[in-house]
Amino acid sequence: MKIGNIEIVMFPAGSGDCILLHFIKEHFRILIDGGYVYTFNNYLKTYLERLGKMGESIDLLIVTHIDRDHINGIKKFLKVNGDAKHPNIIFVKEIWFNGFQNISGIKCDACEEIPFVEKCVLENMAAQSIDQDENGLKDISFGDAESLVELIVNNGYDWNTSFNKMVSRNDTLEVVYGDINISILNPSEKELNNLTQEWIDELKKSSRDVIISNNHLFDRAFEGCWIYDENIENNYCNISFSEEEIFSWREKAELDDDIPDDTIQNLSSIAVLIKNEKKTLLFPGDCPMYQIKKYLPDKIDIVKLPHHGSGKSIDKEFIRTKKVDYYLLSTDGKRYGHPSEKVIGNIVCNSLGNPLIIKNYEIPLLANIGKMEDEVIVDE
């Protein structure tokens, strides 16, 4: 899609996110998350290879939070891309990501020995080699035990160089790249410290006397703890709706809001507000809107629906009080009840103005609503 000066690609990522922004005049590209491994293998890789051969680069890579539908494609990309100074695919100038090392302040660059019992506990907690294939079924062919932090550090990528320590509101409120201003709305240090402390508490349930060291197993265990380990097959379904259900949006819009999302990994998701020329874009990752609402202007041109349109992440008040021109929806609609019928109902019936929903999959719930991303070209 193209909206004014901005080209946006929402790659097919199943229930996840993988979004590439290109600010044309500034010649600046931002990649936000990477979906699953198949997202990289089947879609992102070819696209980035073409850009790399043209001498282009990814100016900023943002990995919003630890969840396999956001980071597994990035892990595969960095592993294939290899050394940051001599990449196999494309140059990546900077990566934003909150991992164990930068939150804790411990440099995990050595192989300090860990007692046997503690090692077993950490290995059991470490990220599992499980992904999802394009049909939503469990895929155990991923086979990559390295953490995202290891791939960043070992391959020499510039990591959070725009910040003193971590990507947070408390560290740096705004990062400026020429005419592109990126405001950090979330997380605060409080959310990141809560994330770390909850992991340490969980770790000490199994190994009370564990001493945090600079062994990379701690990176892997931290990442593994927060990757949602659902049974993929049991959560996959091809949702269909009758005509009566699809068009009863008014009734759905009047339903009570869902209980707000309070999962600690989503509350620590990186959320950014990007301003360029007269356009304002909101990319909240999986961060619920109530967490960042007070920092938002009344008018936002483009909003990526948080957590794939979950009713726990965006409420009636936001939709009814914020003027939005375009809502981006990244989901195949096959898992977790995303997008929420209540959210879609409110956008259709109760929005200020007449926003367009732009989607990266044709899903039954939105059969007559919105447009596919490749259908949207708006010259302004």
Mean pLDDT of 1-29: 95
Tell which wins on pLDDT, 364 or 158: 158
Mean pLDDT of 6-31: 96
Query: In this model, does residue 363 exceed pLDDT 90?
Result: no
183, part of any domain: yes
| Separation of alpha carbons 344 and 339, rounded Å | 7
From the list 86, 30, 23, 89, the residue with the least C-alpha distance to 59 is 30
Mean pLDDT of 228-241: 40
- Lowest-confidence pick of 176-180, 208-212, 222-226: 208-212
Q: How confident is the model at residue 158 (pLDDT cuts 50, 70, 90)?
A: very high
Query: In this model, does residue 270 exceed pLDDT 90?
Result: yes
Q: Are 73 and 36 in contact (CB under 8 A)?
A: yes
User: For position 143, what pLDDT does the model report?
Assistant: 46
Residue that has been written with the tokens 């109760």 in this structure: 350
Mean pLDDT of 313-327: 91
Q: How confident is the model at residue 235 (pLDDT cuts 50, 70, 90)?
A: very low
- Please list, residue by residue across 354-378, b when 16 or more beta carbons sit within 10 angstroms of its beta carbon and e when fewer do: ebbbbbbbebebbeebbeebeeeee
> Which pTM does this prediction carry?
0.91
Tell which wins on pLDDT, 238 or 259: 259
Query: In this model, does residue 209 exceed pLDDT 90?
Result: no
Q: How confident is the model at residue 172 (pLDDT cuts 50, 70, 90)?
A: confident
Q: How confident is the model at residue 40 (pLDDT cuts 50, 70, 90)?
A: very high
| Separation of alpha carbons 184 and 273, rounded Å | 7
User: For position 224, what pLDDT does the model report?
Assistant: 84
User: For position 128, what pLDDT does the model report?
Assistant: 60
Contacts with 85 (C-beta within 8 Å, 6 or more apart), sequence order:
156
User: For position 130, what pLDDT does the model report?
Assistant: 57
User: For position 350, what pLDDT does the model report?
Assistant: 85
Number of domains in the chain: 1
Tell which wins on pLDDT, 342 or 157: 157
Query: In this model, does residue 305 exceed pLDDT 90?
Result: yes
40, part of any domain: yes
Query: Which DSSP string do the residues of 315-346 spell out, in sequence order?
Result: -HHHHHHSEEEEEEE---S-BTTPSPHHHHHH
CA angle, 259 as apex, 231 and 300 as ends, to 5°?
A: 100
User: For position 106, what pLDDT does the model report?
Assistant: 66
314, part of any domain: yes
Query: In this model, does residue 243 exceed pLDDT 90?
Result: no
User: For position 159, what pLDDT does the model report?
Assistant: 95
| Separation of alpha carbons 67 and 255, rounded Å | 29
Mean pLDDT of 151-172: 92
Secondary structure element (H or E) that encloses residue 174, with its range: strand 174-177
User: For position 203, what pLDDT does the model report?
Assistant: 83
CA angle, 311 as apex, 308 and 317 as ends, to 5°?
A: 115
Write out the residue range of the structural domain in which residue 103 sits. 2-374
From the list 149, 150, 132, the residue with the least C-alpha distance to 141 is 132
153, part of any domain: yes
- The CATH number of the domain holding residue 203 is 3.60.15.10
Tell which wins on pLDDT, 243 or 166: 166
380, part of any domain: no
Query: In this model, does residue 142 exceed pLDDT 60?
Result: no
For residue 16, the 8-state DSSP code is: S
- Percent of the chain at pLDDT above 90? 49
Mean pLDDT of 277-285: 95
Mean pLDDT of 239-243: 43
Burial (Cβ within 10 Å: 0-12, 13-18, ≥19) of residue 65: buried
Q: What are phi and psi of 104, to 5 degrees?
A: -80, -25
Q: What are phi and psi of 160, to 5 degrees?
A: 55, 35
Contacts with 129 (C-beta within 8 Å, 6 or more apart), sequence order:
140, 142, 143, 144, 145
Query: In this model, does residue 252 exceed pLDDT 80?
Result: no
Mean pLDDT of 101-127: 73
214, part of any domain: yes
Q: How confident is the model at residue 138 (pLDDT cuts 50, 70, 90)?
A: low
Residue 137, Cβ neighbours under 10 Å: how many? 10
- Average pLDDT, whole number, for the chain? 85
Contacts with 307 (C-beta within 8 Å, 6 or more apart), sequence order:
261, 266, 286, 288, 313, 338
Query: In this model, does residue 199 exceed pLDDT 70?
Result: yes
From the list 380, 19, 17, the residue with the least C-alpha distance to 9 is 19
75, part of any domain: yes
Tell which wins on pLDDT, 193 or 225: 193
User: For position 145, what pLDDT does the model report?
Assistant: 65
Query: In this model, does residue 240 exceed pLDDT 50?
Result: no
Tell which wins on pLDDT, 117 or 277: 277
379, part of any domain: no
